[in-house]
Amino acid sequence: MAKTGNKNVQAKLVLLGDMGTGKTSLVLRFVKGQFYEFQESTIGAAFFTQVLSLNEATIKFDIWDTAGQERYHSLAPMYYRGAAAAIVVYDITSMESFVKAKKWVRELQRQGNPVLVTVLVANKADLETKRQVENEVGEQYAKDNRLLFFETSAKTAQNVSELFYEIAKRLEKVSPSRPGGMKLHRRSQEGGRRVFCCSS
Ligand SMILES: Nc1nc2c(ncn2[C@@H]2O[C@H](COP(=O)(O)OP(=O)(O)OP(=O)(O)O)[C@@H](O)[C@H]2O)c(=O)[nH]1
């Protein structure tokens, strides 16, 4: 439950990145605390909600998990338009996915939204022996482009809560309050909801 006087913030969050980088897995780890070795590829996009309670605010995330397959690329603007935060994901075992992540960052920058909280996420950190993208390379690119940066593993849960908490903290600072205007959910493990908006 939100504390009296707490600030209520509702924020659209979008995940972008190449197919198979772990976007859905990161969201499922955050929303349900679960990980699936054989996660199906997303078709179109999937929608989830999750609430995070901070000391002074409650953040309700409306999460759009986009499909990484190239054929869905043209749909992406529908999901990042109006977003308060964007997570661009690459897979540390794939240089190609890092190149693709940089393209997403440039596309977001072209939208010219100065208040978009943008995070570069290097996922699959548990696969150290197969690493193709060094931590420092991702970190430096993020620094040069004023992005937040996290190395995560949806599999082991490394840095996943930290990622969403950091976004929530940033949104708490920049978002106007919505006193009494939002129905709040208790933070729960079953808070996710998936809808498929497009067919292949
Ligand atoms: N080892 C490891 N595997 C992961 C991790 N995250 C995701 N995977 C696996 O990578 C595969 C792809 O994960 P998804 O979450 O479907 O990736 P996605 O980016 O949503 O893929 P698209 O829906 O095609 O865009 C699945 O088999 C996952 O189990 C991780 O952190 N570590």
pLDDT for 17-65, tens place per residue?
A: 999 999 999 999 999 999 999 999 999 999 999 999 998 899 999 999 9
| Percent of the chain whose pLDDT exceeds 70 | 84
Q: Kindly report the average pLDDT of the chain as a whole number.
A: 87
Nearest 5 degrees, angle CA 155-CA 156-CA 159?
A: 105
Cα–Cα separations (whole angstroms), residue 163 to 23, 106, 119: 13, 21, 8
What is the CATH number assigned to the segment(s) 7-198? Answer: 3.40.50.300
pTM, rounded to two decimals = 0.89
Instruction: Determine the Cα–Cα distance for residues 36 and 51; give it in Å rounded to an integer.
Output: 22
Ligand 1 centroid from CA 179, angstroms: 38
Token code pair at residue 14: 């979008």
pLDDT at site 186: 32
User: Which residues does residue 118 pair with via DSSP β-bridges, in sequence order?
Assistant: 86
User: Of ligand 1's atoms, which has the minimum distance to the CA of residue 124?
Assistant: 31
pLDDT at site 132: 98
Q: Tell which residue, 30, 68, 64, 6, has the closest CA to residue 166.
A: 30
Q: Tell which residue, 83, 174, 88, 98, has the closest CA to residue 132.
A: 98
DSSP 67-113: --SGGGGGGHHHHHTT-SEEEEEEETT-HHHHHHHHHHHHHHHHHT-
Select from 27, 34, 39 the residue to mutate for testing ligand 1; criterion: most ligand atoms less than 8 Å from CB: 39
- pLDDT(6) > 50: yes
Contacts (Cβ under 8 Å, ≥6 apart) of 74: none
- pLDDT(182) > 90: no
Break the chain into its structural domains and give their ranges: 7-198
Instruction: Determine the Cα–Cα distance for residues 199 and 43; give it in Å rounded to an integer.
Output: 6
124 Cβ closer than 6 Å to some ligand 1 atom: yes
pLDDT for 95-105, tens place per residue?
A: 999 999 999 99
Instruction: Determine the Cα–Cα distance for residues 33 and 26; give it in Å rounded to an integer.
Output: 9
pLDDT at site 146: 96
pLDDT for 129-167, tens place per residue?
A: 999 999 999 999 999 999 999 999 999 999 999 999 999
Q: Which residues in 72-102 are b (16+ Cβ under 10 Å) and which e? A: bbeebeebbeebbbbbbbbbbbbeebbebbe
Ligand 1 centroid from CA 111, angstroms: 27
- pLDDT(1) > 50: no
- pLDDT(177) > 60: no
pLDDT at site 200: 24
